[in-house]
Amino acid sequence: MAQREYRETMAAAFGEALASPWQETRGGLVLGSEDLWERVKGMVKRKAESEEVRWSEREGARAVQERVRELTAKEGDKRVRIWARVRLGAERLVDVAKESGYRDGSSVLQVVKRLERETMKDKALAEKLGKLKQLSRVGS
């Protein structure tokens, strides 16, 4: 709660927050030009060791997470956006909680569970979530 209030106060005082340079990190590994990014990806592909393979898998997961965020960017229901990030994007509960203004990951888990229970009664909601599942797979 205090962190959310702090972010809101700072945003009101200074306008738009400065983007962290770490937001530009590609694959959690490269902070630099597109050329550097392509060279690193090529080097990783040539490696068969486990750490490089895990890095590649994480990079694929990030692509899915970005796709899910794109699909839900215009979604008016915050619960659906949270559900998609957790269930389709496999984002950590604590990360989603922090960005959504919740205290911890358990709050986010409750939002997800309640929304899933609601789909048993609300067929339109069930169809919306089903469509998001399909779209997230197609684009990845």
Reading the chain (140 residues) residue by residue, the pLDDT tens digits are: 787 788 778 777 777 666 666 666 666 666 778 888 788 777 766 665 545 555 555 656 777 778 888 888 888 889 999 988 888 888 888 888 988 888 889 998 999 999 999 999 999 999 988 888 887 775 44
> pTM for the full model?
0.57
In one letter, which amino acid is 84?
A
Q: Is 49 helix (H, G, I), strand (E, B) or coil?
A: coil
3-state helix, strand, coil in the chain (%, to 5): 75, 0, 25
* Distances from the Cα of 140 to the Cα of 24, 51, 132, 135, angstroms: 20, 23, 12, 9
